[in-house]
């Protein structure tokens, strides 16, 4: 069996897990929600998260092309403020150095996926909803992760801040999963430390230095 099939895969959600949620001014989400409500479109979020749309196409999708400039400006403001949580870059480097296969699996609109990739090291692989047409917790997105990672589901550990999408969904697919919360604890680094202390057979992935 290849080393890839024997590797430990660690998968993270994006916002609220690796990156703080945006908080600068009126969010693009608020603008979209308000415009979609006025247009009587209820399923706009599904289209935005499952289609590779740029801001102008997103505005057209919700029936509000006149909002495209405002949306682009709101997205630009939010993108400028995006950064990894403190310590996450060092954590990823250490896990990579110790042989873990690293992934990010997240429900994202295209502008967020594009920006997030600029924040992640090149060795982190990604699976975003807008690229494959499915959102968590749909079973298909977890099947895609298992297939692309090339390991049995029990070799995958999923970390995220949503009970439904990052814990229940992955567990139903046969993965291990842990819930994290940077605001009230446990944080991602603390959860990783506790997880791998409880499962010492996952060496060489050891994060005792965190």
Higher pLDDT, residue 168 or 30: 168
CA distance 191 to 194: 5
- CATH number of 176's domain: 3.40.50.1000
Is the alpha carbon torsion for 110, 111, 116, 121 positive or negative? positive
Do 134 and 151 lie in one domain? The reply is yes
In three-state secondary structure terms, 18 is: coil
For residues 113-133, give the mean pLDDT: 97
Question: Is residue 55 in a domain?
Answer: yes
Residue 99 lies in a domain: yes
Nearest to 19 by CA among 92, 91, 88, 94: 88
Q: What is the pLDDT of residue 210?
A: 42
Residue 143: both structure tokens together:
């099947």
Q: Are both 97 and 179 inside the same structural domain?
A: yes
Q: Looking at the structure, do residues 61 and 136 belong to the same domain, yes or no?
A: no
- Highest averaged pLDDT of the listed ranges 43-52, 84-93, 131-140: 131-140
127 beta partners: 105
Q: Is residue 209 part of a domain?
A: no
pLDDT for the residue 1? 42
* Domain identity same for 88 and 69: no
Place of tokens 């599904």: 46
Same domain, 50 and 12: no
Are 49 and 130 within one domain? Answer: no
Q: Is residue 43 domain-shared with residue 127, that is, in the same domain?
A: no
126 and 188, same domain (yes or no): yes
207 lies in a domain? no
Q: How many domains does the chain have?
A: 2
Angle between helix 68-80 and 110-119 (nearest 10): 20
Least confidently predicted of 24-33, 134-143, 148-157, 200-209:
200-209
Tell whether 54 and 122 lie within a shared domain. Answer: no
Query: What local confidence, expressed as pLDDT, does residue 202 receive?
Result: 54
Identify the band that residue 139 occupies on the pLDDT scale cut at 50, 70 and 90.
very high
Predicted local distance difference test score (pLDDT) of residue 151: 95
**For residue 53, pLDDT beyond 80:** yes
User: Which residues constitute the domain of residue 129?
Assistant: 3-20+84-202
209 band by pLDDT with thresholds 50, 70 and 90: very low
Clarify whether residues 174 and 121 are in a common domain: yes
The tokens describing 201, both together, are 């057979």
Nearest to 11 by CA among 148, 207, 108, 110: 148
């Amino acid at each position: 069996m290849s080393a890839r099939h024997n590797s430990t895969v660690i998968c993270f959600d994006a916002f609220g897990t690796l990156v703080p949620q945006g908080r600068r001014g009126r969010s693009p989400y608020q603008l979209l929600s308000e415009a979609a409500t006025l247009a009587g479109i209820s399923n706009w979020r599904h289209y935005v998260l499952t289609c590779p749309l740029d801001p102008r196409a997103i505005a057209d999708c919700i029936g509000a092309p006149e909002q495209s400039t405002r949306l682009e400006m709101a997205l630009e403001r939010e993108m400028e403020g995006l950064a990894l949580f403190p310590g996450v870059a060092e954590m990823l480097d250490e896990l990579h150095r110790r042989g873990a296969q690293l992934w990010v699996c997240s429900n994202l609109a295209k502008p967020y996926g594009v920006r997030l990739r600029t924040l992640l090291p090149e060795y982190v692989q990604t699976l975003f909803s807008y690229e494959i047409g499915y959102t968590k917790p749909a079973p298909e997105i977890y099947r895609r992760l298992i297939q692309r990672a090339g390991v049995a589901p029990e070799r995958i550990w999923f970390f995220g801040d949503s009970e439904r999408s990052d814990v229940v969904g992955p567990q139903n697919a046969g993965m291990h999963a842990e819930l994290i919360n940077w605001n009230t604890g446990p944080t991602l680094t603390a959860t990783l430390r506790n997880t791998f202390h409880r499962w010492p057979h996952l060496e060489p992935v050891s994060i005792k230095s965190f």
